[in-house]
């Protein structure tokens, strides 16, 4: 299984590659966003470690284009910024985890190992989407229709554009309507061991969902139980 390292700092990029190779992984370096895009179009990787600030094409733009073709391969983003806005943008674009520089190499290794365990198919779409195993193809809750195969959400016949994280949270809540889902459970299920994710991040996404799914339709289905978590009230 090969890991692609997209990082324009030659020293850091080499250190990351050597750390992975010491653990028995194959690793490949690329220093430019446009070149990385061509490599991602031609090759299959088990995981991608991607910097945000890249020459040629930014990590955000590179990931967005990659996610249009591949929803399965895990991506961990590296950035020098620690602001919540940057993290939310990264997750919205399709990142699976996020690590702020400077970081301990051991932590990077542990996070990538966790992502690989969650996606044992190594990013091969033909192997199926592990996150969708056992789910119904169509979910109906209140007047919401969710097509889990196409990842398409409609309310009252109108399609609602959701980011990947918003969609995952909605599906989690709608799979068991009326049942409480804790913030920690949402973090664990959707972000895995992304240690930089906290309960404030979940609150941001819940507000995004309410603004897209509830308010335009004069609804209030997405409920908060203070101190516990969230649930979808179909009443």
Residues contacting residue 202 through CB under 8 Å, at least 6 positions apart: 169, 183, 186, 187, 230
Q: What are the residue boundaries of the structural domains of the chain, listed by start? A: 2-127, 134-232
- What are the E-state strand segments in 73-148? 75-79, 97-100, 138-141, 144-147
SS3 (DSSP) at 155: strand
Residue 59, pLDDT score: 92
What is the pLDDT at residue 223?
Answer: 94
What dotted CATH number matches 2-127?
A: 3.40.50.2300
pLDDT of residue 124: 43
Residue listed under structure tokens 């459970």: 185
What is the per-residue pLDDT for 98? 85
Q: How far apart are CA 119 and CA 100, in angstroms?
A: 23
CATH architecture of 134-232: Orthogonal Bundle (1.10)
In whole angstroms, give the CA distance from residue 48 to residue 34: 15
- Which residues in 28-40 are b (16+ Cβ under 10 Å) and which e? eebbbbeebbebb
pLDDT value, residue 199? 66
Q: What is the pLDDT of residue 198?
A: 63
Q: Does residue 18 sit in helix, strand or coil?
A: helix
Mean pLDDT by 10 residues, the chain (235 residues): 92 94 92 94 93 92 90 87 72 85 91 80 43 61 89 91 87 91 83 61 88 94 91 88
pLDDT of residue 164: 82
Give phi and psi for 26, each to the nearest 5.
-85, 135
């Amino acid at each position: 299984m090969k890991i692609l390292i997209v990082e324009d700092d030659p020293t850091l990029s080499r250190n990351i590659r050597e750390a992975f190779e010491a653990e028995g992984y194959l690793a490949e370096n690329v220093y430019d966003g446009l070149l990385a895009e061509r490599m991602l179009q031609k090759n299959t990787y088990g995981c991608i470690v991607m910097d945000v600030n890249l020459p040629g094409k930014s990590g955000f733009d590179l990931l967005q284009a990659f996610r249009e073709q591949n929803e399965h391969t895990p991506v961990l983003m590296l950035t020098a910024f620690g602001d919540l806005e940057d993290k939310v943008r990264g997750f919205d674009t399709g990142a699976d985890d996020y690590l702020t520089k400077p970081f301990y190499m051991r932590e990077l290794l542990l996070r990538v190992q966790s992502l690989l365990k969650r996606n044992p198919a190594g990013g091969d779409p033909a192997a199926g989407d592990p996150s969708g195993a056992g789910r119904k193809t169509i979910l109906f809750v209140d007047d919401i229709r969710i097509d889990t195969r196409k990842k398409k959400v409609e309310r009252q016949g109108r399609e609602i554009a959701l980011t990947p994280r918003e969609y995952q949270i909605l599906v989690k809540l709608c799979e068991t309507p009326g049942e409480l889902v804790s913030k920690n459970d949402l973090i664990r299920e959707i972000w895995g061991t992304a240690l930089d994710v906290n309960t404030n991040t979940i609150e941001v996404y819940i507000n995004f969902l309410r603004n897209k799914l509830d308010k335009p339709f004069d609804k209030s289905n997405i409920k908060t139980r203070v101190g516990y978590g969230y649930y979808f009230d179909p009443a």
